[in-house]
Structure 1
C-alpha cells in the first residue's frame, strides 16, 4: 500500500528551450519599446542558466546582474524587487551578504500552471525599466502574470 509519505521523488517541471528563447525575444522587444538595450537570462527552476543574450552595447556587468536576478527569482519564487523590503528585517538581513542575491527590480520567477519552471533576469535599464520589460515580456510570452 502506497501513500504520499512513501514518495521518494517529485515531478520536476522546467522551462523548455523554445519557451526560454521566445521569452528572451519578448524581453528584447519590450526593452526596445521602453528605450533600452538589455542583458537577459533565463534559468531553470534550480537556478541553472538555460538561455542568455546580451544586446550590443550593454555593459558586461549587466550580464552578471541579469543571471543573478534570474537565480534569485527562481531561488525563492519571488520577484527580486521584493527583497529590498525583506532585507530590512534584521533576521533576514544577513542574506544581503550572499554573493548571488540580487535585490533589484527586473527578476521574476517564471510560472506555468501554478508551477515555477524557471527564473527571468533583465539588466541594462533602470530597475524600473528592467522590471517593466520583465512584466511585459512574461505577459507577451504567455506566462502567468507576475505577483509581488
Structure 2
C-alpha cells in the first residue's frame, strides 16, 4: 500500500527563513536559522552575517530535536531536569538533542512535517524568531 507523506517544500522553508530573518532584524539580532523536512534532514539553512559561529550547529540541532520529539525544544527543558522523566535526554542521539528554546515543530493536519530551529539570541528571542518563521507555514 502506498502512502503519501506531507512534508515541507524548499519554497516553504525559504519563506520560513525569510520571515525569521525579518523578525531577527526587528530585534537587531544576527542568528542562524535551520529548517528540516519530514524526514528530519536539513532542508534549508542560513547564518546571518555577524551571527555567532556556534549558533549554526545549535539552530540545526534545535530543528532536529523539535522534529524528533514532536515538541518545541523549550517544552523538553522541564522534562530533562535532574529527577524528571527525561533526565539526560540531551545526551542522546550523539549529543544533538537541545533542551532549551528555539526549536519548533511544523505541523500539517495534526502531523509533524518538519521543524524550524533558531539560535543566536536569548532563549526568548530565539523562540520569537522561530515562531515568526513557523507562522509562514500556516
TM normalised by structure 1 equals 0.85
**Segment drifting more, 120-129 vs 85-94:** 85-94
Superposed displacement of residue 142, structure 1: 4.2
SS of 1:93's equivalent in the other structure is coil
1:116-143 Cα shifts (integer Å, max 9, x gaps): 110100011111100011112222x142
Which whole-Å CA distance do the structure 2 matches of 1:15 and 1:78 have between them? 17
**Which entry has the higher C-alpha Rg, 1 or 2?**
1
Consecutive aligned runs of 4 or more in structure 1 exceeding 3 Å deviation = none
CA distance in 2 between partners of 1:33 and 1:90 (Å): 37
Q: How does 1:29-48 map to 2 (within 5 A)?
A: 29-48=22-41
- TM-score after normalising by structure 2: 0.90
Separation in 2, partners of 1:71, 1:121: 8
Q: Secondary structure at the match of 1:51?
A: strand
Which segment drifts farther, 107-116 or 126-135? 107-116
Q: How many residues align?
A: 135
Q: Give the drift of 1:59.
A: 1.4
Q: Unmatched 5+ residue regions in structure 1?
A: 1-6, 144-148
